[in-house]
Chains A and B, each alone.
Chain A
Amino acid sequence: MNDKLIKDIAISESGLIFNPVTGESYSVNPQGIGILNKLREGSSLSEIKELLVSEYEVEPETAERDTLDFLNLLRQFKLTTTHGS
């Protein structure tokens, strides 16, 4: 996994995200918070997928596809950086 959450991002339990670098805020649903927390721990894509599959009623393929899509959005919002790709 190459995606790293940028430093100092604040994640509230209710799903509010604040980026102190840009001053921008975001709202995230519970599934998204789960992924962000995993990213912060430096988890891999398959670990994230496992988390979703174990907690929610979802097929592994769907979980993987949606996670990749979500990671794309994070990159677009410049909330993650990619290393070594």
Chain B
Amino acid sequence: MSKKSYERPLIRKLETGMPGKFGLRNDLTPATHIDNIPVAELVENFGSPLFVISEQTIVQTFNKAKRAFTTRYPRVQFAWSYKTNYMDAVCRIFHREGSWAEVVSGFEYEKALRNGVDGKKIIFNGPEKSREDLTKAIRNDSLIHIDHLDELYELVELSGELGIKPRVAIRVNMDTGIYPQWDRFGFNLENGQAWDAINKIVHSGKMELTGLHCHIGTFILSAGAYGIAASKLALLAIDIRNKFNINLKYLDLGGGFASRNTLKGSYLPGPDINPGFEDYAEAISSSLHNSGFSTEELPLLILETGRALIDEAGYMISTVIGNKRLASGSRSTIIDAGVNLLFTSFWYDHKVMPAQPFSLYREETLICGPLCMNIDIIRNSVSLPMLKKGDRLVIFNTGAYNMTQWMQFITMRPAIVLISSEGTVNLIRRKEDNDTLANQEVVPAYLSK
């Protein structure tokens, strides 16, 4: 007689009354496959933990975003935010789909060039651009977004030396009604800094003022804030036209749209309450249409959307190391992926799902990583079927910022694979090993005997 499959014995107290947090939602489908590829096969071939990226999801999400904007506004251009995920394979998918590049360092700028992006289609943001970086960007006719006055003066100097008029914009920060207001980057609109910078650029005669940029924050849950930002930038552009007779080519509204993740501490799940592309597109485009541009004058709308375009396409597969009953009586499950690899677990209650079939029984579980640190918690309390050593757990919506902000700490950074739209599995970043680290280290001769 064949034996039944085992699940550890469980007893759970039944609570009556109000359904608990997320109590109404019961997702019962195990994540056995990602894009039709068995999770077990992925782990067998590439190890655990493992990051998996779905090209199909990237393309679908990108098309959704593009459609939301282009159906409402005639001229839209996305620029892929490199810092959000700069795996070359990922960047190349976005470029193939028509995205420009948005970079914030010399390293990212160089990466964009290597990915075949035309210098004219690289937006150079951020507070730190070295003289060499700026020189390169000027020569390549990239769009340079000025962050502060020292940079502005350096650009005046450089463009004089090189005899080239760079195309520039200023980053503007402003009050859009959201808290916290990001005022560390760019020039403030309300206190006159923005106008001061614009006057200096125009009067220098050395640069071509091409656009205006803002990035009001990240994971902004209010679409209305974008409406305000778009209105304010549009008004500023119209004032510039009236004062200097300069028609700006574009308004860049930056990134910051919420992905489908659930913010930590949110009572309702993200997919139910976060605004979607349509909401942001509606707010921005109606502000621009109402702002007083004639139809021919409408500037190009640039978007540097990061997390909302890639979060959903990223999965992390991890393996259960063991279970523990804590002093409080609650269950804790240890997995092989910690917060050093899943930085975003500090912000999000990531959706997690076992990769093998399970029964209806659930238990509140604390999911911890393998690091010897109290903060190494992937989920504080999540109702999960019983998991046993060796089981796989899939963590959803991990495509943004993890593969760029991960840390090598105690464990090695794992491999990343891309499942192509055709269904092939491609290694896009090798797993690190001891040699990866040893190659960077130098043991002084007197210690190497």
Identify the A interface with B (CB < 8 A). 17, 24-29, 31-32, 34-35, 52, 54-58, 62, 66-67, 69-70, 72-74, 76-77, 79
Distance, CA A67 to CA B329, complexed state (A): 15
Q: Please classify the interface of chain B as helix (H, G, I), strand (E, B), loop, or mixed, using the class held by over half of its residues.
A: loop
Which residue in B3, B7, B13, B325 is a CB contact (below 8 Å) of A31?
B7
Chain B residues within 8 Å of A29, by CB: 7, 9-10, 359, 361, 386
Q: State how many angstroms separate the Cβ of B157 from the closest Cβ of chain A.
A: 70
Asked whether, in the complex, the Cβ of B329 is within 8 Å of the Cβ of A73, the reply is yes
Chain B residues within 8 Å of A25, by CB: 13-14
Q: State how many angstroms separate the Cβ of A67 from the closest Cβ of chain B.
A: 7
The interface bits of chain B over 295-338 (1 if a CB of A lies within 8 angstroms of the residue's CB, else 0) are 00000000000000000000000000000010001000000000
In the complex, the 9 A-B pairs of residues with the closest C-beta atoms, listed nearest first: A56-B6, A58-B6, A32-B9, A31-B9, A66-B8, A70-B9, A29-B361, A25-B14, A57-B3
Asked whether, in the complex, the Cβ of B11 is within 8 Å of the Cβ of A56, the reply is no
Distance, CA A72 to CA B9, complexed state (A): 12
Q: State how many angstroms separate the Cβ of A51 from the closest Cβ of chain B.
A: 11
Which residue in A57, A62, A77 is a CB contact (below 8 Å) of B13?
A77
Asked whether, in the complex, the Cβ of B14 is within 8 Å of the Cβ of A26, the reply is yes
Using known A-B contacts A29-B359, A56-B3, determine if residue A76 contacts B9 with beta carbons closer than 8 Å: no
Chain A residues within 8 Å of B10, by CB: 28-29, 31-32, 70
14 inter-chain pairs at a CB distance below 8 angstroms, sorted by A residue, are: A24-B13, A25-B14, A27-B361, A28-B9, A28-B10, A28-B12, A29-B7, A31-B8, A34-B9, A57-B5, A62-B8, A67-B9, A70-B11, A79-B11
Asked if B388 CB lies within 8 Å of chain A CBs, one says yes
Which residue in B6, B7, B329, B386 is a CB contact (below 8 Å) of A76?
B329
Chain A residues within 8 Å of B359, by CB: 29
Asked whether, in the complex, the Cβ of B12 is within 8 Å of the Cβ of A27, the reply is yes
Asked whether, in the complex, the Cβ of A31 is within 8 Å of the Cβ of B6, the reply is yes
Chain B residues within 8 Å of A35, by CB: 9
Question: For chains A and B in complex, what number of residue pairs have CB atoms within 8 angstroms?
Answer: 67
Using known A-B contacts A29-B361, A69-B325, determine if residue A17 contacts B11 with beta carbons closer than 8 Å: yes
Identify the B interface with A (CB < 8 A). 3-14, 325, 329, 359, 361, 386, 388
Q: Which of A26, A29, A58, A62 has most chain B Cβ within 10 Å?
A: A29
Using known A-B contacts A62-B388, A69-B325, determine if residue A26 contacts B5 with beta carbons closer than 8 Å: no
Which residue in A32, A55, A72 is a CB contact (below 8 Å) of B3?
A55
Q: State how many angstroms separate the Cβ of A78 from the closest Cβ of chain B.
A: 11
Chain B residues within 8 Å of A17, by CB: 11
Asked whether, in the complex, the Cβ of B8 is within 8 Å of the Cβ of A27, the reply is no
Distance, CA A31 to CA B385, complexed state (A): 14
Distance, CA A70 to CA B363, complexed state (A): 12
Using known A-B contacts A56-B3, A56-B4, A57-B4, determine if residue A27 contacts B14 with beta carbons closer than 8 Å: yes
Which residue in A32, A34, A56, A77 is a CB contact (below 8 Å) of B5?
A56
Give the residue name and chain of the B residue nearest to A34 (CB): B9
Distance, CA A25 to CA B7, complexed state (A): 21
Chain B residues within 8 Å of A72, by CB: 325
Distance, CA A34 to CA B7, complexed state (A): 12
Chain A residues within 8 Å of B6, by CB: 31, 52, 56-58, 62
Give the residue name and chain of the A residue nearest to B389 (CB): A62
Q: State how many angstroms separate the Cβ of A7 from the closest Cβ of chain B.
A: 18
Chain B residues within 8 Å of A67, by CB: 9
Q: State how many angstroms separate the Cβ of A49 from the closest Cβ of chain B.
A: 11
Asked whether, in the complex, the Cβ of A74 is within 8 Å of the Cβ of B325, the reply is no
Distance, CA A35 to CA B4, complexed state (A): 16
Asked whether, in the complex, the Cβ of B11 is within 8 Å of the Cβ of A28, the reply is yes
Q: State how many angstroms separate the Cβ of B435 from the closest Cβ of chain A.
A: 36
Chain B residues within 8 Å of A56, by CB: 3-6
Q: State how many angstroms separate the Cβ of B9 from the closest Cβ of chain A.
A: 4
Asked whether, in the complex, the Cβ of A77 is within 8 Å of the Cβ of B11, the reply is yes
Distance, CA A66 to CA B323, complexed state (A): 10
Chain B residues within 8 Å of A32, by CB: 9-11
